[in-house]
Structure 1
């Protein structure tokens, strides 16, 4: 019998039918769905753990040369948890305590406001109006609550809910750092896996390696140069806020952190606070507080050149959207994950857009067959 099939072709009976292909796709989709349901609650923590591992891996390599792989990872994990957890607990506890007292006073209408300091009226332009408004609140709080009480209570409840989310995020931070420490210990294997994965996605091992290096550089640049600087700056300023005894020290410290991440000068918060301290505290402590706060608020000008990655070009709107969107989705953890994740996506998109016109030009300008 003459075989009419072309060389290399499969017999028709051995080809998978439509039902077989559909079953395979359906089983694969079911597996992906089942796995995603398990992994989805830990997505933010895993993302932040990977970012921490990428950021800390160069330090781990230097320590591992002296201490060994395991001891280096353990030291980084213990030191990182202590450095992050202690200030975070102080800030979140202060914020929650202040907000709880505020909402309780609003609900019971027992809120008391001290009279305005005499020196407030001497402030140019706004001193008179601020003194008048402050005096009205201090002397006739029932009338103010009757007029604006519902708005104040709703705002306070939202802030308390937000503070509760911040408290829950503390545990996520600790878990993320623990996972990140484990990833640091297995950094070489994780990097090889990422390169192989990107090689399969892009269809080129060299391009996959280049993209992994680009993502690592972006994560380190944003995590150290933007978030790291903002954390250090907010800690320095927050020390002064807590020592001087500001009523809302936790909330103000969090505001400094937020402004630092979105690249807005901290003086928008520190200058009014310095003015408040000068009209409520003695002259000598106020001067010391002002000097420390101004120096700490301007420390980003020194830290950024030291920590920001060279050649990293991520527009501020990308960082701002990442910060706001991350906080809305994941609370305090999203404040750190959001900007880094969007920055990586933006850099990869720009890399893809730069490559494709070149490939197209090469096809058009190539020799005719």
Structure 2
């Protein structure tokens, strides 16, 4: 007769197994809770560090590792922070005057041009509202006070968020420079983690290269193109003196980042140009705005997906879906997740081919040889 297992011994084994697992889960939960407030900052730090790591590697051949990180940090501040700060200050400075004009109704508005009434669908309505605002601003403000009050609150909230955004960018740049100073250790750590997950050092290196290339592709093809768009249309806004030119420039960049046509902003500015400037100036501004607004159609195919094994439409779908799901940082999260998923799916499809061929070689071996 088989000897029965002692209940006490069985319980002890269960405790020996579950207690370490419970403590490990508790440790992971506490680490996640402590890092959760800094997730956005850490992600942007990684993004900046990945984008500028190739430059850091080149600079290290001429200067020390630490000096290279300092140079990149200062240069990144000059390239990213200075234009952003100038535009933010300009936008924030124009907001109080706009709010005061909304509240008092003292702001004068030029009459609408005759072309406004000819616009399809909304022409007559826009012409009537514009005419009322230009002829009797106090009555216009009184009639639409609730809507204008909500708009004023939105402007105040936006002005407050500008300062926080600039501080977040400054912090991300500082941490990115520190990360670059320890880039080799950080890269080795990430490589070890991915090798552990994939079960192979070669596969870990492959996916690390894919993630880095995707981040750089999105940074150049989405944020870089949006910055160029905002710069082009912003030059036009400031040249003809469009009210709130700094705010409109920031909005143009935001729309470009989330893949919304910048023409949504430039069309009202074109209408303003025809009402406030001469016909020649307005036509030049219109051509310039169209070039700036449609520049992404030329730049994106050149920048996104270049050198990647992932097609551009997949990256764009990841960018748009990521923004919808996670906000601005979803640009990179969505693109990276979809790129990795696409590669994994391709590898899975490749492994469904017949394992044996007439020549005795497997199709998977052929794929490995092609790689």
The equivalent position to 2:79 in structure 1, one of 78, 83, 102, is 83
Is the Cα–Cα contact under 8 Å of residues 102 and 111 in structure 1 kept in the other structure?
A: no
Counterpart residue number, 1:8: none
Residues 186-209 of structure 1, C-alpha deviations (whole Å, 9 max, x = no match): 323222211210111122222222
- Give the unaligned 5+ runs of structure 1: 5-11, 328-334
The equivalent position to 1:252 in structure 2, one of 248, 265, 275, is 248
RMSD: 3.2
Residues 288-338 of structure 1, C-alpha deviations (whole Å, 9 max, x = no match): 5445444444443554455333244325443223334444xxxxxxx2x22
Counterpart residue number, 1:135: 131
Which structure has more RCO (C-alpha within 8 Å, separation ≥ 6)?
A: 1
Equivalent residue runs for 1:293-304 within 5 Å = 293-301=289-297, 303-304=299-300
- Give the unaligned 5+ runs of structure 2: 363-371
Counterpart residue number, 1:338: 330
Distance 1:265-1:116 versus aligned 2 partners, 3 A rule: same
Is the Cα–Cα contact under 8 Å of residues 220 and 309 in structure 1 kept in the other structure?
A: no
Shift of 1:20: 2.9
Counterpart residue number, 2:216: 220
SS of aligned partner of 1:65? coil
Counterpart residue number, 1:7: none
Equivalent residue runs for 1:232-251 within 5 Å = 232-251=228-247
Counterpart residue number, 1:331: none
Distance 1:80-1:122 versus aligned 2 partners, 3 A rule: same
Give the TM-score taking structure 1 as reference length: 0.81
Shift of 1:19: 2.0
Q: How many pairs does the alignment contain?
A: 345
Counterpart residue number, 1:112: 107
Counterpart residue number, 2:89: 93
Distance 1:184-1:305 versus aligned 2 partners, 3 A rule: farther
Shift of 1:40: 1.3
Counterpart residue number, 2:367: none
Q: Distance in 2 between matches of 1:148 and 1:350?
A: 51
Shift of 1:359: 4.3
Counterpart residue number, 1:9: none
Distance 1:95-1:34 versus aligned 2 partners, 3 A rule: same
The equivalent position to 1:229 in structure 2, one of 225, 228, 240, is 225
Q: Distance in 2 between matches of 1:128 and 1:152?
A: 21
Distance 1:124-1:315 versus aligned 2 partners, 3 A rule: farther
Counterpart residue number, 1:125: 118
Residues 58-117 of structure 1, C-alpha deviations (whole Å, 9 max, x = no match): 1222222223322222111101112211211222223333333333444x4435332315
Distance 1:55-1:200 versus aligned 2 partners, 3 A rule: same
Counterpart residue number, 2:181: 185
Is the Cα–Cα contact under 8 Å of residues 98 and 248 in structure 1 kept in the other structure?
A: yes
Counterpart residue number, 2:323: 323
Distance 1:354-1:309 versus aligned 2 partners, 3 A rule: closer
Q: Distance in 2 between matches of 1:32 and 1:301?
A: 45
Distance 1:339-1:277 versus aligned 2 partners, 3 A rule: same
Residues 19-71 of structure 1, C-alpha deviations (whole Å, 9 max, x = no match): 23332222222222222222111111110111111111112222222233222
Distance 1:348-1:168 versus aligned 2 partners, 3 A rule: same
Equivalent residue runs for 1:146-295 within 5 Å = 146-282=142-278, 286=282, 289-290=285-286, 292-295=288-291
Counterpart residue number, 1:48: 44
